[in-house]
Amino acid sequence: MGDLPDRSAAFFEWYLAAVDAAELTDKRYPVKGMNVWTPYGFLARRQMDRILVEEIERSGARPVEFPALIPQTEFQKEKEHIKGFDAQVYWVTRGGATELDVPLVLRPTSETAMYPMFALWVRSHQDLPLTVYQIVNTFRYETKTTRPFLRVREIHFFEEHSCQTDAEAASARVDANLASFAAIARRLALPYLALRRPEWDKFPGAFYSVALDIPVGGARTLQIGSVHHYRENFSGPYGIRYEAADGSSRLVHQTTFGLSERLLGAVVAVHGDGRGVAFPSELAPYQVVIVPIPGRNGPDPVPWARTLADRLRARGLRVHMDGREERPGAKYYHWEARGVPLRLEVGGREATQATATAVDRHGNRSVAGPEGLEASVEEALRAFDRRLAERAQTAFREAFAPAASEADLVGSTRVRLFGWCGREACGHAVETAIDGALLGTLVGPPPGEGPAPVACLVCGATEEIRWAAAGRPL
């Protein structure tokens, strides 16, 4: 049992080792890129979904669930969208021994499943906005190297779809989605950048796309979600129209908001360390693990450990009591690798005094009880969450550096921020220099201090200059 590979020197080796050590997934399933959610990984996913559902429903969306199969005839209606997904689609062409008249697509995302139904559901302006979401699995035939949570072929996927009266209302929904994501990210202690992607990198069929990117060391970034404004690009081909108050017939404007199990991968990547995963307490399958430490003398600590577990569960905490026949040190190691925020050690002395020795995932110790025992355990969890968020913020700030010239981009070990005129040629020059991608223009303020850029990094133009970022997406 040694430490994991060095994270900064070998990110993916470290990442895979951290995921394996935490037993979040089993990738030995005999279809490449389709992994098994283990019990522990499933519990983490359930917490992730709970947070998503709470924030999304708070913003007015309602749940639906659409079938996984989409007729080819519907799938092909929006041409850009089809072009974007053609190479990644799984096809169902037979039912039993019978060739299907219309082949079926296993959804890579659900625009083309939902929109024929939206055309039936939306009649008048009174039906708008229509805002629904689902959490389902989507399927994409990835040809790049697959990695648990980051790039898989069966994806645990969240998608919101909305129909709005006009472009302005759709833009407002995009902003509402970005606000929801800010709340989700805060609960997971994940600092991120919202970036409006350049034209050549927007979602197939979108009018514009805002991506949510997380720096994960070096100049690397991980896109964990996106929000798209479709205007009438889908409502046209799918005939989603409504009767306006003045009696005219109009096409709806649409938006989508997508997140996936990558969020869990981001938590591993951002909060993990040389000992494995570290979960913020909101996401942790077990927030507290109790380890009884039997001694040669003194009372048996197990009854007190059980009482302690019950008292903490009564406060709504997710508590696991580790009663296995193992050395305490082996148990500590086991739960540290699994990212449990707080361990309570209970020996003879603690049993006698009705206390517990609390040790958080970063090794900070405190004594809980006998007075205010539950409250001090909760405070230890909050203190851990604060430190976790501070560490993530520090790493986030250090992940960026301004670029003053194209030369700064070459071989950069940071994500670079600079002024951009918006021209495609300058954008491509940036991509060549950094050997990565122009991630887009910042939505919201830049991370860190510094004056706003006044000129394009590439051409020196001074008109319509905006903050842009470039890095190397995973």
- Beta carbon nearer to Zn ion, 341 or 453: 453
Least Å from the CB of residue 80 to Zn ion: 26
Least Å from the CB of residue 209 to Zn ion: 21
Q: Is 421 in the site for Zn ion (CB under 5 A)?
A: yes
Angle at 279 between CA 274 and CA 280, to 5 degrees: 130
C-alpha to C-alpha distance for 155 and 148, rounded to whole angstroms: 10
C-alpha atoms less than 13 angstroms from C-alpha of 297 in its C-beta half-sphere: 1
Q: By CB under 5 A, what part of segment 206-245 binds Zn ion?
A: none
- Beta carbon nearer to Zn ion, 185 or 429: 429
3-class SS at 175? Answer: helix
The pairing of beta strand 400-402 with beta strand 365-368: unpaired
Rounded to the nearest 5 percent, the helix, strand and coil shares of the chain are 35, 30, 35
CA max distance for the chain: 86
- Beta carbon nearer to Zn ion, 150 or 426: 426
Q: Is 470 in the site for Zn ion (CB under 5 A)?
A: no
- Beta carbon nearer to Zn ion, 230 or 418: 418
- Beta carbon nearer to Zn ion, 196 or 334: 196
Are 31 and 106 in contact by the 8 Å Cβ rule? The answer is no
Q: Is 317 in the site for Zn ion (CB under 5 A)?
A: no
Question: What mask, x for binding Zn ion by CB under 5 A, covers residues 424 to 443?
Answer: --x-----------------
Q: What is the DSSP string of 213-227?
A: EEE-STTEEEEEEEE
Q: By CB under 5 A, what part of segment 92-131 binds Zn ion?
A: none
- Beta carbon nearer to Zn ion, 22 or 426: 426
Least Å from the CB of residue 131 to Zn ion: 38
Q: By CB under 5 A, what part of segment 247-286 binds Zn ion?
A: none
Least Å from the CB of residue 201 to Zn ion: 17
Q: How many residues does the chain have?
A: 474
How many positions of this chain bind Zn ion (CB under 5 A)?
A: 7
Are 52 and 283 in contact by the 8 Å Cβ rule? The answer is no
- Beta carbon nearer to Zn ion, 9 or 454: 454
3-class SS at 13? Answer: helix
Are 442 and 469 in contact by the 8 Å Cβ rule? The answer is yes
Interface segment toward Zn ion; rule CB under 5 A; list 127-135, 241-249, 277-285, 420-428:
420-428
The pairing of beta strand 365-368 with beta strand 356-360: antiparallel
C-alpha to C-alpha distance for 156 and 138, rounded to whole angstroms: 7
Q: Is 456 in the site for Zn ion (CB under 5 A)?
A: yes
Question: What mask, x for binding Zn ion by CB under 5 A, covers residues 375 to 414?
Answer: ----------------------------------------
- Beta carbon nearer to Zn ion, 150 or 421: 421
Using alpha carbons, select from 349, 348, 342, 352 the residue that is nearest to residue 322.
342
- Beta carbon nearer to Zn ion, 176 or 469: 469
Q: Is 351 in the site for Zn ion (CB under 5 A)?
A: no
DSSP assigned state of 129: S
C-alpha to C-alpha distance for 204 and 155, rounded to whole angstroms: 19
Residue choice 458, 468, 469, 474 for contact with Zn ion (CB under 5 A) = 458
Q: Is 10 in the site for Zn ion (CB under 5 A)?
A: no
Interface segment toward Zn ion; rule CB under 5 A; list 155-163, 238-246, 258-266, 419-427:
419-427
Q: Which two tokens stand for residue 178?
A: 């970005």
Interface segment toward Zn ion; rule CB under 5 A; list 123-131, 247-255, 338-346, 423-431:
423-431
How many CB atoms neighbour CB 445 within 10 A? 8
- Beta carbon nearer to Zn ion, 24 or 426: 426
3-class SS at 443? Answer: coil
Residues that bind Zn ion (CB under 5 A): 421, 423, 426, 456, 458-459, 461
